[in-house]
Amino acid sequence: MTAEIVRYSVLMPVYNEEQTLETIVKKVRYMDNLRLEITPVTEAETQEVILQQEIIAVDDGSADGSLAILRRLEAEGMLKAFAHEKNQGKGAAIRTAIQHAAGDILLIQDADLEYDPREYPVLLQPILEGRAQVVYGSRFLGGPRKAMLFRHMLGNKFLTFLTNLLYDSIISDMETCYKVFRREVLAGVPLHARRFELEPEITAKILKRGYRIYEVPISYNGREYEEGKNITWRDGIPAIWTLIKYRFVD
């Protein structure tokens, strides 16, 4: 059985993550040259795929030692590093990463340790088998997780409900970090978000274009504010506006 080689790009926004950055990069690199057995929906026989990886890391104006770590890891051949002189937000960092990515599949990975790269096979398999062009890893489909704050859960549930209402979908976790796309899905999608409104913007625009999101359960180890968590309730307001706005404009 001849194995097909598929290249995927891990898009990693970085902002003041010197405590976790090297660890998460090593975890991601461990998932390079994955060998998966898949059964395409149009085939009866199992096939083997070798997943070759690149990491596109974008430092978003960090004030700590994150950029120095990225430059060292880049020199060691572990990733490709890019940098914003000033902090612009997660959305801006992801947009920069997309511009430099060469993979057939694009996967978003935060630079903290909340999400586990060992779940890449589960995230990638539906795309490789032709069952989906977009996959989200959901924290609310029964996977193991560290309990999040009640107010965060309510905020997430409300934003997801609003997404489903406006865009006729039934997803369970719009705000998840783990979003995976075939490259061509994002090729024609204009992205404008600079901060955390990236999540609703991407979701709104791919749903408007007729793509259906395939969800898989993932684990989640949420960190506390004293550990560096950046998102707050204030980020929910632009997220709501983003969902409403892109229902009518592009």
pLDDT in tens, 90-112: 999 999 999 999 999 999 999 99
Place of tokens 């088998």: 129
pLDDT in tens, 35-83: 999 999 988 899 999 999 999 999 999 999 999 999 999 999 999 999 9
On the question of pLDDT at 85 being above 70, the answer is yes
Domain with 111 in it: what CATH number? Answer: 3.90.550.10
Cβ neighbours, 10 Å, residue 218:
24
Domain count, the chain: 1
Boundaries of domain holding 55: 4-248
* pLDDT value of position 194: 87
Give the alpha-carbon dihedral of 72, 78, 84, 85, to 10 degrees: 10
- The answer to whether the CB of 221 falls within 8 A of the CB of 145 is yes
- The answer to whether the CB of 16 falls within 8 A of the CB of 64 is yes
Cβ neighbours, 10 Å, residue 128:
21
pTM for the structure as a whole:
0.92
Counting every residue, how long is the chain? 250
